Chain A
Amino acid sequence: MTATAWKHKDLLGIQELSATEINLLLDTATAFKQVGERPIKKVPSLRGKTMVNLFIEPSTRTRTSFELAAKRLSADVINITATASSIVKGETLKDTALNLQALNADIIVIRHSAAGAAHFLARLLKASVINAGDGAHEHPTQALLDAFTIREKKGRIKGLKVTILGDILYSRVARSNIWLLTKLGAHVTLAGPSTLVPRVFEEFGCRVTYDVEEAIRDADVINLLRIQHERQRQTMFPSIGEYTAMFGLNKERFTRTKPDALIMHPGPINRGVEIDSEIADCSRSVILEQVTNGLAVRMAVLFLCSGGKPAAEGAK
C-alpha cells in the first residue's frame, strides 16, 4: 500500500497547501464519496477518536457536514455553539480550547468570526485543528468541495474560466477559492459592486471586472456569493433591490451564459437576491451536489489529518 505525501496535522487554509496536496485531498475524497453510496455508509478509520465541532458563528451545512463526516468515519462527535456554552459567561477561546483538549479531543473543528482563530488554536493544541471558516479569511473545505464538484462535472480544473460573482470583500469562500483555483491553473474572474470587489484582489492573480455581462459570458463556472450582511459595518451599496437588478443572476442574464456553464453557490442562498429562484433549481445548478460532495471532502480531510504519526508535524 502506498503512503501519501500528506504531512499536516491541521487544515488551516488553502494558502499553505501545494497543488499536489490539494489534488491528493480531492483524490481521497473520490474514494470517500463512494462510501456514501454503499449499503453500509460507515468505515472504522477514526474509531475511538473524538471530534469537537466548536462553532462560534452560526452554520447549518458546514457543522452538519463535519458531524456526519466524522460519524461515517466512526468517530465520536460533540457540538458546541457559542450561545449554549460558557463563552457567554466570559470564557476565552484559549481556555475553552484547552478544556476541550483536557477532555482528550483528537480533532477540533472551529468556526469563528475572527480571522486567524484556527491558526491560533493550532499553535496552542496537540489536537488536529480544522478551519471551518475564520472571519473573512479562509474556508478551506468549502473551496475543496467546490473544486471537487468542478472537477467531477468538467473533468479538469486547469484552464477553466471561473467567475466569482458577489460580495468578494467579506467572503472567506472567495479567498479560499481564489487560492485553490489559481494554484490548480484556472482563470479566475471576480465581479460585483466596486465597493465589494476592490482592485487589490488583482494581486491574488485574478481578474477584476465590474461588467457582469462580460464576466459571465465566457465563464465555464459561475460561483455566486451571498451578501455578508453580518460582516458589513456600513452599507456598501444603495439597496438589496438595486444589487439584484445590477448583479443578480436573473433569467435574462442566464440566457447569455455558456450553455454548459455550471451554476454554483456555497449556500445559504438568498432566493431572489443574488440568484433567481428558478435558476437555483435548474439542471445546470449543482448547489445540492456541492453539499453531497462536501461530506466526502470533509471525510477525506479528517482521514488525512488523523493519519500518520503525531511527530510528523514536529513536537508541540
Chain B
Amino acid sequence: MDAATLGRALVRMAHEIVERNPEPDSLAFIGIRTHGVPLAQRLAMEVGEILKRKFSVGEIDISMHRDDLALRNAPPQVGPSQIAFDLTDKTLVLVDDVLFTGRTIRAAMDEISDFGRPQRIQLAILIDRGHRELPIRPDYVGKNVPTAPDERVRVRLAEIDGKDEVVIER
C-alpha cells in the first residue's frame, strides 16, 4: 500500500464515519500509541473537512492494561495517556494501524473506561489482518489483508517514520 492508496482509504473511512454518525456533536477520536495517534489525527482532520468543524483527539498507551506483562521477554515501554476532554456521552472513534488478535483493542477499551464512560466506542483500523483471538470487529476498515500468522504487517507513517506505506514482512 503506497501513500496515495493510504490517503484514499482514510478519506473513504472519514466519509463512512460521517455517514454512520448523523449527530457529530458528540464525536471524538482516540489514537492508540504509537501509530494509531497520527492516524486518529488524520481521520479527525478528514471528518472535520467534510463537516467544517474541529474534533478532539486523545491518545492512549495500553501497556498498563496488557494481560501478558510476565510473558514477554522484557517489560514494555510505557507512556502517559492523554485525554484532555470529558468522555461522558461521547461517541469515540478508537483508531489503530493494524488489527490482529484484538487484545490491544480489549486493553484500549479498559484504559478508556478508567477515564470515564463514553456513550459508545467505534473502531477504525487501517489494516485488518485477521487471526482474531477475541470477539472484536472493526466498524471502519482501510483494507482487509489476509496474512499468515507468522507474517508481520508494518505500517509506516510520515509523522513517525518519514513516509507513508504498508508492507508485509516475513
List A residues at the B interface (Cβ < 8 Å): 1-7, 24, 27-28, 30-35, 38-40, 42-46, 73, 300, 303-304, 306-310, 312
- Binding stretch for chain A, among B14-22, B69-77, B121-129, B136-144: B69-77
B115 located at the interface, meaning its Cβ lies under 8 Å from any Cβ of chain A in the complex: yes
Q: How does the 8 Å CB contact mask read for B109-132 relative to A, with 1 for contact and 0 for none?
A: 011011110000000000000000
B149 located at the interface, meaning its Cβ lies under 8 Å from any Cβ of chain A in the complex: no
Interface of chain B, main secondary structure = loop
Q: How far is the CA of A280 from the CA of B87 in the complex (A)?
A: 39
Q: How far is the CA of A32 from the CA of B114 in the complex (A)?
A: 13
A6 pairs with B78, CB closer than 8 A: no
B78 pairs with A28, CB closer than 8 A: yes
- Binding stretch for chain A, among B1-9, B38-46, B47-55, B58-66: B58-66
Q: Which 9 A-B pairs have the closest CB atoms?
A: A307-B75, A34-B80, A43-B64, A40-B114, A31-B78, A3-B74, A31-B80, A308-B74, A2-B77
Q: How far is the CA of A24 from the CA of B76 in the complex (A)?
A: 11
Known: A2-B76, A307-B74; 20 extra A-B contacts, CB below 8 A, are A3-B76, A24-B77, A28-B77, A30-B79, A30-B80, A31-B78, A38-B114, A40-B113, A43-B65, A43-B114, A45-B64, A45-B69, A73-B64, A303-B64, A307-B72, A308-B70, A308-B74, A309-B70, A309-B71, A309-B72
Q: How far is the CA of A105 from the CA of B78 in the complex (A)?
A: 25
Q: How far is the CA of A134 from the CA of B66 in the complex (A)?
A: 33
B115 pairs with A312, CB closer than 8 A: no
Q: How far is the CA of A40 from the CA of B114 in the complex (A)?
A: 5
- Contact partner of B64 (CB less than 8 A), chosen from A6, A30, A35, A312, is A35
Could you say which residues of chain B place their CB within 8 Å of the CB of A2? 76-77
Q: How far is the CA of A123 from the CA of B62 in the complex (A)?
A: 33
- Return the chain A residue nearest B86 by Cβ: A39
Tell me how far the C-beta of A4 lies from the nearest C-beta in chain B, rounded to whole angstroms. 5
List B residues at the A interface (Cβ < 8 Å): 61-67, 69-82, 110-111, 113-116
B70 pairs with A3, CB closer than 8 A: no
Could you say which residues of chain B place their CB within 8 Å of the CB of A308? 70, 72-75
13 A-B interface contacts by CB (under 8 A): A1-B76, A3-B74, A3-B75, A4-B76, A34-B82, A38-B114, A43-B111, A44-B64, A45-B66, A306-B70, A307-B72, A308-B73, A308-B74
Could you say which residues of chain B place their CB within 8 Å of the CB of A300? 78
Could you say which residues of chain A place their CB within 8 Å of the CB of B79? 27, 30-31
B74 pairs with A6, CB closer than 8 A: yes
Q: How far is the CA of A46 from the CA of B115 in the complex (A)?
A: 19
Could you say which residues of chain B place their CB within 8 Å of the CB of A31? 61, 63-64, 78-80
Q: How far is the CA of A35 from the CA of B73 in the complex (A)?
A: 25
Given contacts A40-B113, A40-B114, A44-B110, contact A303 B78 (CB under 8 A): yes
Could you say which residues of chain B place their CB within 8 Å of the CB of A6? 74-75
Could you say which residues of chain B place their CB within 8 Å of the CB of A24? 77
B64 pairs with A304, CB closer than 8 A: no
